[in-house]
């Protein structure tokens, strides 16, 4: 009888350890210790979102500001996070890189925000960033009431569209780098007949929301050598081609639109263009160049 009780006690203990370990693997506390981490964020609208995190050594014992990194079309959130580790250590920021998996997030839902045909902003994928920020702050590991955000390529598309269509978002500074093409700050007719995602046509945007968006601190970063019209991943749709033959040309044309619209609306735009010399469509090098721009004073 005694042997049976001992065996049962051991079995229960092992079961508890297994259950605890399994729960920890699924719900690892974000930013709980220095180094890389993985967090499954339960978004109210899109459910489980994998988030790759990094906590620099200076932030292991105190709250720090948050940087949110949006990956490109390769959907590699871990690499997107890793490209910011040096900057995280240098500037003392927590890093969170959500992953928009291909199974649930087509290009329409990921970089286009799920905006077309969806009047409920709560169902736009841009809202994931805002809710992720709230969840991160709830851990007690995040400092401040705003975040900074970086996106490269498809992630750059996500970031600049979020800034245009959700000017109420709580980022304090945003960088959209090497976007494949842009949502022009124009209506369909003014954009040559191209509606969203090539322009703000067929979206809820108004002159009032556009004024608010132009007041936000957004940096459009362009790799000087991101100028290959036949790059394997460049968007060749008619709406994208109408913006220019290369990503670099499209970015310059977009910023010309920003200046024109700012003048029409009679407002001073906080959006600015930064060209990175000698860099092509390279997320790692663009992230390195963006560090001082995004995280510096």
Q: If DSSP states are collapsed to H, E and C, what string results for 169-219?
A: CCEEEEEEECCCCCCECCCCCCCCCCCCCCECCCCCCCHHHHHHHHCCCEE
Q: What pLDDT, on a 0 to 100 scale, did the predictor assign at position 29?
A: 82
Q: What pLDDT, on a 0 to 100 scale, did the predictor assign at position 28?
A: 64
Q: Locate tokens 């009679």: which residue? A: 266
Q: CA 44 to CA 35: how far, in whole Å?
A: 27
Q: Which domains does the chain have, with CATH numbers?
A: 28-295 (3.40.50.1820)
Residue 11 CB partners (closer than 8 Å, separation 6+)? none
| Tokens read off for 213 | 């968006």
Q: What pLDDT, on a 0 to 100 scale, did the predictor assign at position 8?
A: 37
* CA contacts within 13 A on the Cβ side of 221: 33
Q: What pLDDT, on a 0 to 100 scale, did the predictor assign at position 275?
A: 98
Nearest to 55 by CA among 73, 74, 37: 37
Q: CA 225 to CA 180: how far, in whole Å?
A: 14
> Would you give per-residue pLDDT tens digits along the chain (297 residues)?
444 333 333 333 333 333 333 333 334 689 989 999 999 999 999 999 999 999 999 999 999 999 999 999 999 999 999 999 999 999 999 999 999 999 999 999 999 999 988 999 999 999 999 999 999 999 999 999 999 999 999 999 999 999 999 999 999 999 999 999 999 999 999 999 999 999 999 999 999 999 999 999 999 999 999 999 999 999 999 999 999 999 999 999 999 999 999 999 999 999 999 999 999 999 999 999 999 999 999
């Amino acid at each position: 009888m005694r042997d049976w009780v001992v065996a049962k006690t051991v079995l229960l203990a092992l079961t508890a350890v297994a259950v605890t370990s399994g729960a920890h693997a699924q719900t690892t506390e974000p930013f709980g210790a220095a180094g890389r981490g993985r967090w499954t964020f339960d978004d109210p609208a899109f459910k489980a979102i994998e988030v790759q995190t990094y906590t620099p050594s200076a932030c292991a014992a105190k709250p720090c500001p948050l940087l949110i990194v949006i990956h490109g079309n390769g959907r590699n959130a871990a690499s997107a996070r890793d490209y910011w580790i040096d900057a995280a250590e240098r500037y003392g920021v927590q890093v969170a890189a959500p992953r928009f998996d291909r199974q649930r997030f087509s290009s329409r839902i990921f970089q286009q925000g799920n905006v077309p045909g969806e009047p409920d902003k709560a169902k736009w994928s841009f809202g994931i960033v805002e809710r992720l920020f709230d969840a991160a702050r709830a851990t007690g590991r995040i400092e401040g009431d705003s975040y900074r955000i970086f996106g490269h390529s498809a992630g750059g598309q996500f970031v600049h569209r979020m800034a245009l269509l959700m000017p109420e978002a709580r980022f304090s500074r945003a960088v959209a780098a090497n976007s494949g093409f842009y949502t022009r700050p124009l209506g369909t007719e003014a954009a040559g007949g191209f509606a969203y995602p090539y322009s703000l046509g067929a979206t809820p945007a108004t002159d009032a929301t556009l004024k608010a968006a132009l007041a936000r601190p957004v940096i459009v970063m362009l790799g000087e050598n991101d100028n290959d019209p036949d790059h394997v991943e460049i968007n060749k749709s008619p709406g994208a081609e109408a913006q220019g033959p290369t990503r670099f040309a499209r970015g310059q044309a977009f910023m010309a639109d920003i200046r024109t619209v700012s003048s029409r609306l009679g407002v001073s735009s906080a959006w600015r263009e930064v060209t990175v010399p000698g860099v092509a469509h390279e997320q790692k090098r663009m992230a390195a160049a963006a560090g001082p721009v995004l995280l510096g004073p």
